[in-house]
Amino acid sequence: MASEENLITELENRLNDFDAAARAEALAELAALAQRGAVAFEPPREAANLHCHTFFSFNAYGYSPSALAWLAKRRGYAAMGIVDFDVLDAVDEFLDACELLGVRGSAGIETRVFVPEFATREINSPGEPGVYYHMGIGFSTGRVSETGAAVLADLRQRAARRNRQIIERVNAHLDPVMVDYEADILPLTPGGNPTERHLVLAYVRAAAQRFPDPTGFWAGRLGLSVEQVEKLIADAPAFQNTVRTKLMKQGGVGYVQPESGMFPTVETFHQLIEDGQALPCATWLDGTSAGEQAIGELLELLMNKGAVAMNIIPDRNWNIGDPEMRRVKVQNLYNVVRVAQDLALPLNVGTEMNSFGQKLVDDFDAPELAPVREAFMDGAYFIYGHTVLQRAAGMGFQSAWAKQHLPSRPERVAFYTRAGRRLPPGPAGALGLNPDLTPDDILSKPFA
C-alpha cells in the first residue's frame, strides 16, 4: 500500500514536468491506477474553479494543464477551467486530460486591451485608465487559423518587449543583483511566455545566490526596515508580492507606464477568440473604480463588440479583513451578478492561482457567497456545455447550429447551461452528438 501511494505521489509530481511527453506518460499511468481503484478520490461536490492559470503563464503552485485536470478529479470538483495570459499553449493538453479523466473542463485566454471609450477612466487595471483585463473562454482547441496565429504572435511580442523594459530598469536599481532574460527568465516557463511573477521569482533567487543573507540588500532596495523584510521573507508569498509591488507596479522603478499602442484593441483580441469559436468574456474586479461604477455603460460597449459572458474572481470580493470594505465589495458583487443575469451574461468564476496563497477553489459555502452560488455554478455548467458541444461537433454557443435553433441570447444560455449539467464528462457525454440533433434531442439523450 505504501509503495503504491509513493508511486501516485511520484506520478503527480511528474505531471508538472516541463517535458510534455513525461506529463502525458504520468497522466496515463495515474488514469490506469484510478481505473483499477488504486487512487482515493474525494466525493463529487458542487464546487468549481473556472479561472486557473497553468504554468504556461504562471501558476503559483507550479501546476501544468494535466495537473489541474487531475486536481479537479481528485478533489471532486464539478468543473475546472484554465485561463492563461497571452497564449493558448495549454488548451489541447488540458481538454484532452479532462476527457481522459472524466472532468468537465473549459479553456481560455486573458490579456490586457485598451478601451478608448474609457481612456479617462480606470476600469480593472489599477492606476491605468483605459487599460482593461479581458478574456476569451470556451476554446475547444489551441489550434487557430493564420489570422488567430498572427494575433497570438503579437500578444507574445508585446509581452516580451514589456518584460525586457522592466528588467532593464530593475537591473539598474538592484545592481549587483541582475538577471538575464534568456538565461534566467525563459527557463522558468515551458512555453517561453514569462510574466511579471516569473521576473520576481528570478530576482528573489538571484539575490539569494548573491548574498548568504539578502535581508539587508532587500531592505535597502525596497525601502523597508530590516525587521520588516525579516518578517516578509519568512512568508514567501507575501515577500514575492511585496517585491512585485515595490519594483514593478505603479510607483516602482520597473513600472512601465502604458502608452498608446502598448495593448491591442478589444476588436483585435475578439478576432482571435471568435476565430476559435470561443466566447469573448468581460471581466470584473470589485466595482470600486470609475469604470466599473459605470458597469452598465461598460457592458453595453463590450457586448456590442461581441462579449457574451463575464468573469469574476469571488474571493477578492468578500474575503476581506476590513468590515466596511467587505460590506461595500460584497454588495458590489451582488449588484454586478444581478446585472449580468438581467443581460443573460453567464458567469465564469475562479481563484486565478497565479499569486502565492490563492485558494485551489472558492469557498462556495461562505455565507457571503450563498446568494450568488447558484449563478456561479450555472456559469460553470454553461461553459462546459458550450465546450463539449463545440469540441464534439462544432455546435457551440457561437455556431450556426446554435443561432438556428436558439436565436435569442436567454434561451441559448439556458440550453448550454442545462446541457452542461446533463452531458456527463468524458467520452460518453460527447458520443453521438451531431448537428442533426435538436436542442431537445440533446437534453433528452439517454446515457448508460
Record the cell numbers describing residue 301, joined without a space.
460597449
Number of structural domains (the chain) is 3
- Whether 448 has a pLDDT exceeding 70, the answer reads no
Residues 156 and 106 sit within 8 Å (Cβ to Cβ): no
Closest CA to 257 of 245, 249, 266, 247: 249
Structural domain includes residue 341: yes
Structural domain includes residue 14: yes
Cα 277 to chain centroid distance, Å, stands at: 18
Q: What string of H, E and C letters represents the secondary structure of the chain?
A: CHHHHHHHHHHHHHCCCCCHHHHHHHHHHHHHHHHCCCCCCCCCEEEEEEEECCCCCCCCCCCCHHHHHHHHHHHCEEEEEEEEECCCCCHHHHHHHHHHHCCCEEEEEEEEEECHHHCCCCCCCCCCCCEEEEEEECCCCCCCCHHHHHHHHHHHHHHHHHHHHHHHHHHHHHCCCCCCHHHHHHHHCCCCCCCHHHHHHHHHHHHHHHCCCCHHHHHHHHCCCHHHHHHHHCCHHHHHHHHHHHHHCCCCCCCCCCCCCCCCEHHHHHHHHHHCCCEEEEEECCCCCHHHHCHHHHHHHHHHCCCCEEEECCHHHHCCCCHHHHHHHHHHHHHHHHHHHHCCCCEEECCECCCCCCCCCCCCCCHHHCCCHHHHHHHHHHHHHHHHHHHHHCCCCCCHHHHHHCCCHHHHHHHHHHHHHHCCCCHHHHCCCCCCCCHHHHHCCCCC
In whole angstroms, how far apart are CA 5 and each of 8, 12, 39, 44, 303? 5, 11, 8, 21, 50
Domain co-membership, 119 together with 221? no
CA max distance for the chain: 69
Which one of 228, 248, 268 terminates a domain? 248
Structural domain includes residue 20: yes
Domain co-membership, 280 together with 410? yes
Q: Residue 259's pLDDT is what?
A: 72
Q: How far apart are CA 203 and CA 238, in angstroms?
A: 15
Domain co-membership, 244 together with 180? yes
Place 423 in a pLDDT band, splitting at 50, 70 and 90. Answer: very high
Q: What is the rounded end-to-end Cα distance, in angstroms, of the chain?
A: 33
- Whether 260 has a pLDDT exceeding 80, the answer reads no
The 10s digit of each residue's pLDDT in 350-378 is 999 998 889 999 999 999 999 999 999 99
Domain co-membership, 180 together with 130? no
Domain co-membership, 16 together with 164? no
Closest CA to 171 of 248, 226, 102, 94: 248
Domain residue limits at 94: 41-143+276-443
Average pLDDT value for residue range 286-315: 98
CATH code, domain with 62:
3.20.20.140
Q: How far apart are CA 170 and CA 64, in angstroms?
A: 29
Domain co-membership, 321 together with 386? yes
Domain co-membership, 11 together with 66? no
Which one of 248, 264, 288 terminates a domain? 248
The 10s digit of each residue's pLDDT in 318-328 is 999 999 999 99
* Interior/surface letters 18-52, b for 16+ CB within 10 angstroms, e for the rest: eeeeebbebbeebbeebeeeebeeeeeeebbbbbb
The 10s digit of each residue's pLDDT in 338-350 is 999 999 999 999 9
Residues 152 and 88 sit within 8 Å (Cβ to Cβ): yes
Q: How far apart are CA 443 and CA 1, in angstroms?
A: 43
The 10s digit of each residue's pLDDT in 86-142 is 999 999 999 999 999 999 999 999 999 999 999 999 999 999 999 999 999 999 999
- Whether 1 has a pLDDT exceeding 80, the answer reads no
* Interior/surface letters 110-123, b for 16+ CB within 10 angstroms, e for the rest: bbbbbbeebeebbb
Structural domain includes residue 269: no
Q: Residue 37's pLDDT is what?
A: 93
Mean confidence (pLDDT) of the chain: 95
The 10s digit of each residue's pLDDT in 377-404 is 999 999 999 999 999 999 999 999 999 9
Domain co-membership, 223 together with 310? no
Place 3 in a pLDDT band, splitting at 50, 70 and 90. Answer: confident
Domain co-membership, 214 together with 111? no
Domain co-membership, 420 together with 385? yes
Structural domain includes residue 34: no
Domain co-membership, 234 together with 282? no
Structural domain includes residue 336: yes
Average pLDDT value for residue range 62-83: 98
Structural domain includes residue 328: yes
Q: Residue 162's pLDDT is what?
A: 92
Q: How far apart are CA 104 and CA 425, in angstroms?
A: 5
Domain co-membership, 308 together with 429? yes
